[in-house]
Chain A
Amino acid sequence: MNQGMRLTGRAALLAASALASVVVLGPIIWALSTSLKSDNHIFAVPPRLIPDEPTLMHFQRLVAEGVQWSFLNSAFYTVVSVAFAVAVGGTAGYALVRYPVPAKRALLVLFMGVMSIPSYALLLPTQVIFVRLGIFDTRLALPILYAAHVIPFAVWMTRAHFATVPRELEQAALVDGYSRFEAVWKVIIPGARPALIAAAAFGFLYAWNDYITATTMVESPDLRTLPVALIFFQGFHGRDWGALMAGVVIATLPPIVLFLVYRRYLIGGFSEGSVKG
């Protein structure tokens, strides 16, 4: 009887998990399906999941509107800010573990505290400052803000990791004839890959997916990010759902692929952080 109950429980669990997966993935798959249907099939009743005559016309439509430039802008801002944030944050995380730094505790509190300040509440004063400094509506505005948001996370994730690397490892490299920089590059960085990847993936998701910073700090059409361009497109062609869903697909594909490839590091980074407090 106990055995039977366990089997029923197992079946219920699998069924519930399957249902949850459908609720979670269904809308995304539906968007993909819509983006591949021609206009006269989009509103078909009853709805069909598999497009009858798949077409790329909506994607072509987006290209005709120049959305690919916004895609490239997003990619540029993301890559620049993530590279900068991981380099600067990782360096700081390393120094906080290995070097005597004045006011170390205060700096840790600073990085930790900044992580819990909602960046959204700072956008308005930042906008005013950027206008006065002439950074508003330039290519610099978004990389600076994205990097500044990601740096504390990068510090935190890499610091926790560097602390677990035995000091002797780099001491051995120093004795073996390498400079401090070479020792870090050849011995510490290879071991720190998980933390660096977690920080970089987190930064990518943050920067690529942002809308509110981009829409408030950049105005020129040729500086727009992909999410901003999609919202503008919606404003002009609100009923062109095929093209809008093509935009959703384009905007979603990079972060989902990245997430699937690096999920281990991302999940690991966040679960370690929470368990260690």
Chain B
Amino acid sequence: MTPAAVRASRQPDDIPQDAILQGEIQGMNVHSQDIASRAVGQSARSVRFVDVAKRFGSVAAVADVNLTIAPGQFVTLLGPSGCGKSTTLSMIAGLELPSQGHIYIGDRDVTTVPPADRDIAMVFQSYALYPHLTIFENIAFPLRAKRRRTTETEVTRKVTDAARMLGLDKLLARFPREISGGQRQRVALGRAMVRTPTIYLLDEPLSNLDQQLRVQMRSELKDLHQRLGATMLYVTHDQGEAMTLSDIIAVMSAGRIEQVGAPRELYDRPANLFVARFLGEPGMNILNGDIGDGRLRGQGVAIALPPTVKAGPGGLCAGIRPEDLVLCPIPEAELTGVVRTVEFLGSRCLMRADIGDTLVTAFLPAEVTTQPGETVGLKASYPGRTRWFDVASGLAVGH
């Protein structure tokens, strides 16, 4: 088996071709190392979307999605609610019929194939455990489907194996209503695991858990993926989950895929303003102004353009991550403004300052003594980390 590779493509008129190429190469580089040591599961399959769209009446829930997921990868569809990520997952599962396009699992066109014939497993946000069946029977349920023809000894072996792996051995005789949320979550995973599916689909599986349990289950999921070597498709609106779990993230918004790549790639080199603002907590600061004199100039803004960046007719804006900003004397400052709040977070401080009419956030060392109302100067700690975007198209330029 060759190491898994990611291919992502977009409609040519949406995004400059070279930007995509660069993104792909970056994604591959980062990930070939991570994945090299991991065995890709025997049954793992690729998933490919070709021009897939889904319309509900006149509303386009998913528009022109083209995406390829390599076998054994953990890929996350990340986006705000209503962006079409769950619909996309449902189309892979066969629970929704696309309005156009083709979906392939491995070499097989499954666009109109019923869910039962796709050999996929799905974990639902609500877990969808069968309330009238015991935990044992819930996990065994997929094995009891006629098409699988599993013998009773085999069912028992597989269910107990999965239960042991997930720490559910002692709960097998109980009913779903008698166990905790985290345990239900594991039962849902167990039900997916017993049949070694070609692809796991996970629809916000952690969102009903409390914070502590969510972090714990997150690492368990990651561990599970490593052990199974299965293709996993994960849907979430939580970028923390997406970042920690994924080999590849596809950021979605308004039914479109905004960018596909490794987490670090998306974070460091957002392809457009949406991804820049959406990723990071808080997101990237976006600063507007006019280009003149080799600089971006605006109220309280004066940032030198790097030589690689050429201003187009639409104008440019600069993006700087909050953690890339440092305090500096006002004459050297790229950004000058009045401090609004300073929040002490323990290891560092989060400062909010009004730069012109933009509210800029910056992570500063815990020791800073800056007070609200003070006028401060800020600059990028490392100029190469400042991103540039075309205002009219919203797309990244110059890298």
Given contacts A168-B128, A171-B115, A191-B131, contact A178 B122 (CB under 8 A): no
One of A166, A178, A190, A191 near B145 (C-beta < 8 A): A178
Q: Is the CB of B128 within 8 A of A177?
A: no
Identify the closest chain B residue to A187 (Cβ).
B130
Residues 107 to 146 of chain B near chain A (Cβ within 8 Å):
114-116, 118, 120-122, 124-126, 128, 130-132, 141-142, 145-146
Q: Is the CB of A166 within 8 A of B95?
A: no
Is A45 positioned at the interface, with any CB of B under 8 Å from its CB? no
One of B95, B125, B191 near A176 (C-beta < 8 A): B191
Min CB distance B205 to A, Å, is 12
Residues 87 to 123 of chain B near chain A (Cβ within 8 Å):
93-95, 114-116, 118, 120-122
Q: How many residues of A contact B (CB 8 A)?
A: 17
Is A115 positioned at the interface, with any CB of B under 8 Å from its CB? no
Q: Is the CB of B126 within 8 A of A173?
A: no
Residues 144 to 159 of chain B near chain A (Cβ within 8 Å):
145-148
Is B195 positioned at the interface, with any CB of A under 8 Å from its CB? yes
**In the complex, A173 Cα to B138 Cα: how many Å?**
10
Contact with B along A169-180 (1 / 0, CB 8 A): 101111111111
Identify the closest chain A residue to B122 (Cβ).
A175
Q: Is the CB of B116 within 8 A of A178?
A: yes
One of A172, A182, A190 near B128 (C-beta < 8 A): A172
Contact with A along B202-237 (1 / 0, CB 8 A): 000000000000000000000000000000000000
Q: Is the CB of A175 within 8 A of B121?
A: yes
Q: Is the CB of A166 within 8 A of B128?
A: yes
Q: Is the CB of B124 within 8 A of A177?
A: no
Identify the closest chain B residue to A168 (Cβ).
B128
Q: Is the CB of A175 within 8 A of B132?
A: no
**In the complex, A69 Cα to B389 Cα: how many Å?**
89
Residues 152 to 195 of chain A near chain B (Cβ within 8 Å):
166, 168-169, 171-180, 182, 187, 190-191
**In the complex, A179 Cα to B94 Cα: how many Å?**
12
Identify the closest chain A residue to B123 (Cβ).
A172
- Chain A residues positioned under 8 Å from B195 (CB to CB): 176-177
Contact with B along A184-215 (1 / 0, CB 8 A): 00010011000000000000000000000000
**In the complex, A173 Cα to B128 Cα: how many Å?**
9
Q: Is the CB of B132 within 8 A of A191?
A: yes
**In the complex, A42 Cα to B126 Cα: how many Å?**
65
Identify the closest chain A residue to B121 (Cβ).
A175
Identify the closest chain A residue to B115 (Cβ).
A174
Q: Is the CB of B124 within 8 A of A172?
A: yes
Identify the closest chain B residue to A190 (Cβ).
B132
Min CB distance B265 to A, Å, is 31
**In the complex, A187 Cα to B142 Cα: how many Å?**
12
Q: Is the CB of A174 within 8 A of B128?
A: no
Min CB distance B190 to A, Å, is 12
Given contacts A168-B126, A171-B128, A191-B131, contact A176 B94 (CB under 8 A): no
- Chain B residues positioned under 8 Å from A187 (CB to CB): 130
- Chain B residues positioned under 8 Å from A178 (CB to CB): 116, 145
One of B93, B121, B122, B128 near A169 (C-beta < 8 A): B128
Give the 7 A-B residue pairs with the shortest CB-CB distance, closest first: A177-B145, A168-B128, A176-B142, A172-B128, A174-B115, A175-B122, A168-B124
Residues of B that sit less than 8 Å from A by CB: 93-95, 114-116, 118, 120-122, 124-126, 128, 130-132, 141-142, 145-148, 191, 195, 201
Q: 19 A-B Cβ contacts within 8 A?
A: A168-B128, A169-B128, A171-B95, A173-B130, A173-B141, A174-B114, A175-B94, A175-B115, A175-B118, A175-B122, A176-B141, A176-B142, A177-B142, A177-B145, A178-B145, A180-B114, A182-B146, A187-B130, A191-B132
With A169-B128, A171-B124, A176-B121 known, 19 other A-B pairs at CB within 8 A are: A168-B126, A168-B128, A169-B130, A171-B93, A172-B130, A172-B191, A174-B95, A174-B115, A174-B116, A175-B93, A175-B95, A175-B116, A176-B141, A176-B191, A178-B145, A179-B114, A182-B145, A182-B146, A191-B131
